[in-house]
Homo-oligomer: A and B are copies of this chain.
């Protein structure tokens, strides 16, 4: 029973006491009014999906606007983030404290919480930042997974909620959706319900311009239950959602809607997608919808109906609080949700660091990371590991970790499959849900595939750790397709992201410690495939990597030159310093494992570390960004283009990233003996 006809103005007349039409029309009116006032925004989606959202919230979504962080709330994700006014309208009517009508009037204005796309952390009740299409859907998979994993640990009493997603055509066309739905179907995340705004319109016009895919068949192939429903038929929607909640597989509900429902001339066309309707069209829509209220005004009855949803949520939350108080697992549950590392965590790491300084292992930093994770995963149960099908290369697995499997969510390791983008988004979902600290591995070069979601880790300030191994031409034979050259720069350029490139086992442990403590910042650990000696053979209580950069080898008497390196090239700097000593040049070696943290030190500290002598930067990567450290007189020894396929040693020679090249660069700057 489809009503795609745009003249079918009155959506389903709900006989129940909830005035469904009015509740939905309030969302439509707020969206068109706010977009009109802002002179920019997207009215089409909120107007088209208002009925779906009303059916979903009126009957099903359980949350408490007074306690937006209640752990067992349902998660509602607006993956089609351009329809932000739908969410802001809902949150306004539900009574979130920050979402007064003034905020709707200041939609998309500086200082308002009503950003163009919903931003987690900026606005209450926004579970994740959306806008880049497909991200919300994939992040929701992580949240639904977190729910099951916590449920496995704490039971139905404390953890039993749904994850609802509104997704658009764009979300389903983006590649990340494939990775996400495959993983969700495989893991049988039955409490994940996706409501697809199937309006047949994208920005360029009808979706038939660019797709012929049978989405229901596609989701079914991925192990989902699927349904199709008239997105303007209240009862049918309620029935569909109720059915979706009852199955053991995730569900896609295709909601056939009219974009911009109610707009007299623009509904059902791309004209209503992303621009204000204009005064005449809004007037026409008001008339057609029977919404005779001034802009931004919502009658009391409608407000009361929406407030009832919040009230229902408050009761549920209070009942849950009682269950929590009575639960023997309270402390463990709260510790998990707070994500605090155990009190003796740092002590255990310090003891292990002392061991490392003494044993001075010569291992690849990916191996050092595995060793560190052995200690970390034993010291806290917060960590949840995984890899995008490179477990034995990334060395992300440690003994005793049980993999999560379909229907068996008690484990702490995730086989993400060959899905770097979804891995990053799922980790965002795990972190946002709270209850764990996710880390996941792939090769550094494949951060290309994950970048869209990594950016959101940074923008949302989530504690997610990216274990990115094979971090340079040092990976050798796999060749230029697998050798990162520009990726350190790409990641360093991203705000609020720690990019650690540790030089040895001690720095690797320190980087892990910093990453796990960085509650508001995701981290990248760029790790070598090839073995590296341990330089930090004198134990330091202090986390020197926390300074971002420091003098790892002091000059013997005076400082003639400062060699600055990261990761595997610190070894090379040491060797160059030895060679220079033979030529009576006294070199300091600076390790610079985390530029972001180094930037944060005082100018005096930085000056002291970098010194006033000429400087040579060394990194088996592109130069971009290095001029900051080496200055105008400085030299750089690194990559100038893409890599090549050959054993690592041959490549370092071939690309002239050698101790001798560093000596030559130095002797260009100084007089060498």
Chain A residues with a Cβ under 8 A of chain B: 38, 40-41, 81-82, 108-112, 114-117, 119, 129-133, 169-170, 173-179, 182-183, 185-186, 202-205, 207, 209-218, 220-223, 387, 389-393, 403, 406, 415-422, 445-446, 448-449, 451-452, 455-456, 458-459, 476-482, 485-486, 489-490, 492-496, 622-625, 627-628, 631-632, 639-642, 644-647, 650-651, 654
Contacts and interface: CB of A to CB of B under 8 A. Distances in A.
A495 B173 CA distance: 30
Nearest to A492: B624
B459 A647 contact: no
26 contacts: A38-B477, A40-B476, A108-B647, A110-B651, A115-B479, A115-B644, A117-B645, A131-B478, A132-B445, A173-B418, A173-B419, A174-B179, A175-B176, A175-B419, A203-B389, A205-B415, A210-B415, A210-B417, A210-B419, A212-B406, A213-B221, A213-B222, A221-B221, A456-B481, A459-B480, A485-B493
Contacts of A451: 448-449, 451, 490
Given A132-B446, A214-B222, 7 more contacts: A110-B646, A174-B420, A175-B178, A183-B210, A216-B221, A459-B481, A489-B490
A623 B629 CA distance: 13
A24 B542 CA distance: 60
Contacts of A130: 481
Given A110-B651, A218-B221, A417-B202, A209 B480 contact: no
Contacts of A81: 481
Contacts of A419: 173-175, 210
Nearest to A639: B495
Of the listed residues A129, A480, A644, the one surrounded by the most CB atoms of chain B closer than 10 A to its CB is A480
Of the listed residues A182, A204, A476, A623, the one surrounded by the most CB atoms of chain B closer than 10 A to its CB is A204
B119 A481 contact: yes
A485 B415 CA distance: 32
A108 B645 contact: yes
Contacts of A417: 173, 202, 207, 209-211
Nearest to A133: B418
Contacts of A387: 204
A221 B650 CA distance: 48
Contacts of A133: 418
A214 to B, nearest CB: 4
A240 to B, nearest CB: 20
Nearest to A452: B448
A203 B391 contact: yes
A212 B223 CA distance: 7
A365 to B, nearest CB: 20
A391 B387 CA distance: 37
Nearest to A417: B210
Nearest to A216: B221
Contacts of A622: 493, 495
Given A209-B415, A419-B173, A645 B115 contact: yes
A346 B453 CA distance: 42
The 7 closest A-B pairs by CB, nearest first: A175-B175, A210-B417, A178-B178, A131-B481, A110-B646, A115-B645, A217-B221
Contacts of A393: 203
Of the listed residues A174, A176, A446, the one surrounded by the most CB atoms of chain B closer than 10 A to its CB is A174
Contact of A204 (B415, B644, B654): B415
Nearest to A443: B132
Nearest to A646: B110
Contacts of A415: 204-205, 209-210
Contacts of A640: 495
Nearest to A108: B477
B173 A175 contact: no
Contacts of A132: 445-446, 448-449, 481-482
Nearest to A129: B481
Nearest to A622: B493
Given A178-B178, A449-B132, A389 B202 contact: yes
B41 A389 contact: no
Contacts of A479: 108, 115-117, 119, 131
A175 B421 contact: yes
A595 to B, nearest CB: 9
A173 to B, nearest CB: 4
A665 to B, nearest CB: 17
A438 to B, nearest CB: 16
A494 B173 CA distance: 27
Contact of A185 (B212, B392, B478, B481): B212
Contact of A389 (B129, B170, B216): B170
A482 B494 CA distance: 14
A495 B419 CA distance: 25
A199 to B, nearest CB: 14
A403 B206 CA distance: 13
A109 B479 CA distance: 10
Contact of A40 (B221, B391, B477, B627): B477
B647 A109 contact: yes
B651 A204 contact: no
A196 B403 CA distance: 27
Contacts of A632: 631-632
A490 B486 contact: yes
A389 B207 CA distance: 9
A492 B127 CA distance: 34
